[in-house]
Amino acid sequence: MIIKVEAIIREEKLQDVLDALGEMEVHGLTCYQVMGCGTQRGMKSYVRGHQEVEIHMLPKIKLEVLVSSEEWEKKTMETIQKAAYTGNIGDGKIFSYDVRDAMRIRTKETGPGAIQPE
């Protein structure tokens, strides 16, 4: 089983999340800068009580971690949630997906072994 945990977090929370993931056995991750918006559509203000209709994109960080069990999926999601939390709107989202396969290019190993230490 291979599961991808994907988190969209505040830029300023990246180091906290990396520190927290570093405390657990994480064997690899990918992160990149993205632009996005959530339910508030990135809005900053309300005009005369009406919501702005325009969508504003805000800079965020996207993190991807592949894990090999539902137990690690849960642990990873909980760890990221704790470390990325401020309690304000825009804290981000965490998604998880089933991954069909993975391959370590150097060894051609596939399946869960490709994402675990040799």
Nearer of residues 38 and 112 to Mg ion, judged by Cβ: 38
Q: Does 89 engage in binding with Mg ion (CB under 5 A)?
A: yes
> Residue 68's binding partner, choosing from ligand ATP, Mg ion, none, with beta-carbon cut-off 5 to 8 A by kind?
none
Q: Which residues are CB-contacts of 90 (< 8 A; sequence separation ≥ 6)?
A: 10, 38, 40, 58
Which residues of the chain form contacts with ligand ATP (CB under 6 A)?
8, 36-40, 58, 60, 89-93
Q: Which amino acid is it at 81? A: Q
Residue 37 binds which entry of Mg ion, ligand ATP, none, with Cβ cut-offs from 5 to 8 Å by kind? Answer: ligand ATP
Binding flag, residue 40, Mg ion (CB under 5 A)? yes
* Residues 6 or more apart in contact with residue 53 via CB below 8 angstroms: none
- Alpha carbon distance 40, 38 (integer Å): 6
Residues lying near Mg ion in the complex (CB under 5 A): 38, 40, 89-90
